[in-house]
Amino acid sequence: MLIRDATADDWAAIWPFFHQITAAGETFTFPVGLDRESGRGWWMLSAPNLTVVAVDDTGEILGTAKMNNNQHGNGAHVASASYMVDPAHGGRGVGRALVEHTLDRARAQGFRAMQFNAVAATNTHAVRLYERLGFRIVGTIPEGFHHPREGYVGLHVMHRPL
Amino acid sequence: MLIRDATADDWAAIWPFFHQITAAGETFTFPVGLDRESGRGWWMLSAPNLTVVAVDDTGEILGTAKMNNNQHGNGAHVASASYMVDPAHGGRGVGRALVEHTLDRARAQGFRAMQFNAVAATNTHAVRLYERLGFRIVGTIPEGFHHPREGYVGLHVMHRPL
């Protein structure tokens, strides 16, 4: 598996699983009805922010991450990031590799910490992965997320120093 | 004191204290060097988001607030808001009135809660006010804010149900 910066052309391969994940509405606080062009604006960031893709030996895209400063001005030293793994390629360590990559990139860019603002408490797979990688739950917004089947559930704020 | 929706023309009167407050960099995680036109984009929101002003009997603007959904999609039921009181008009209850107004407006718009993402721990006046008005600190990002004199200080996430 290789992780490289995304190019504009990658969106065609990201969109199908981006659409699958955002339309399901179970994990992200993105608009649920994003179409292909709106979705591009939400995911494909420009420098100094970044979007990367994880690809296999054949060049197929397995997952993607984006990273940006979480706040501006005197809060701009904390990064944030989001991750999507193509469900067809789950269980292969793609998510872990993407998180580790963004931690390295954030460190290289001089960020002092990484923060996730909105991790659905029901997304236990992600919460466990983040915790294994050094994040802790700083706090939980009660009923901050409206899961389509579970109803209102907590929304974690997670953080780790770099 | 009256609180009314801001009009585009109000920016001329908001800008001087908006500039004073953001340039000081002690409370907001906005870019520190915002100029007049960039600042307008950060503060003067369009429906369904809103920006209001508190005015006195002569029509002078004493302070202002903006309110928006804090997340999108399945997190869009939680509002967020920010407040600025002209330092020349501090101590008159303008901040409290603005917070109460946005709580009412958020409730009227169907939001289920209000959340502040980035309250500098050094901004004890605001923290106390928010707590008196029913907010609690959900968590604190360690060293999440770089205060120009105090150095790295905590950044609170605050929340109250509606």
Per-residue pLDDT reduced to its tens digit, A122-154: 999 999 999 999 999 999 999 999 999 999 999
AA identity, residue A123: N
3-state secondary structure of B84: strand
- Residues contacting residue A99 through CB under 8 Å, at least 6 positions apart: A65, A81, A83, A129, A130, A133
Give buried/exposed letters for B39-67 (b at 16+ CB in 10 A, else e): bbebbbeeeeebbbbbbeeeeebbbbbbb
Report CA-CA distances (Å) from A122 to A95, B63, B78.
Answer: 17, 40, 18
Q: How many helices (H) and strands (E) does chain B have?
A: 4, 7
The pLDDT tens digits of the residues spanning A73-125 come to 999 999 999 999 999 999 999 999 999 999 999 999 999 999 999 999 999 99
Residue (of A38, A3, A46) closest to A19 by Cα position: A38
Cβ of A41: how many Cβ atoms within 10 Å? 9
Write down the pLDDT at residue A114: 98
Q: Which residues in chain A are closer than 8 Å to B157, comparing Cβ atoms?
A: 138-139, 141, 157
Helix, strand, coil percentages for chain A (3-state, nearest 5): 35, 35, 30
Interface test with A, best of B30, B38, B68, B74 (most A CBs within 10 A): B74
C-alpha to C-alpha distance for B5 and B8, rounded to whole angstroms? 10
Q: Please answer yes or no on whether A72 and B139 come within 8 Å at the CB atom.
A: no
Write down the pLDDT at residue B154: 98
Write down the pLDDT at residue A157: 98
How high is the ipTM of this complex?
0.95
Closest Cβ–Cβ partner in A30, A140, A159 for B141: A159
Give buried/exposed letters for A86-119 (b at 16+ CB in 10 A, else e): beebeeebbbebbbebbbebbeeeebbbbbbbbb
pTM reported for the whole predicted model = 0.96
Second-level CATH architecture of B2-161 = 3-Layer(aba) Sandwich (3.40)
Beta bridge partners of B69: B79
Closest Cβ–Cβ partner in B137, B144, B161 for A75: B144
Q: Please answer yes or no on whether A75 and B29 come within 8 Å at the CB atom.
A: yes
E strand or H helix that includes residue B13: helix B11-24
Closest Cβ–Cβ partner in A71, A147, A161 for B118: A71
- Residues contacting residue B105 through CB under 8 Å, at least 6 positions apart: B50, B52, B67
Could you tell me how many residues make up chain B?
162
Beta bridge partners of A116: A158
The pLDDT tens digits of the residues spanning B23-50 come to 999 999 999 889 999 999 999 999 999 9
Q: What is the number of CB-based contacts under 8 A between chain A and chain B? A: 109
**Sequence ranges of the domains in chain A:** 2-161
Classify burial at B4, counting beta carbons within 10 Å of its beta carbon; exposed 0-12, middle 13-18, buried 19 or more. exposed
Write down the pLDDT at residue B158: 98
The pLDDT tens digits of the residues spanning A17-71 come to 999 999 999 999 999 889 999 999 999 999 999 999 999 999 999 999 999 999 9
Q: Which residues in chain B are closer than 8 Å to A140, comparing Cβ atoms?
A: 138-139
Mean confidence (pLDDT) of chain B:
97
Residue (of A28, A24, A6) closest to A16 by Cα position: A24
Report CA-CA distances (Å) from A58 to A83, A94, B61.
Answer: 21, 15, 62
Nearest Cα residue in chain A from B151 = A74
3-state secondary structure of A145: strand
C-alpha to C-alpha distance for B160 and B90, rounded to whole angstroms? 24
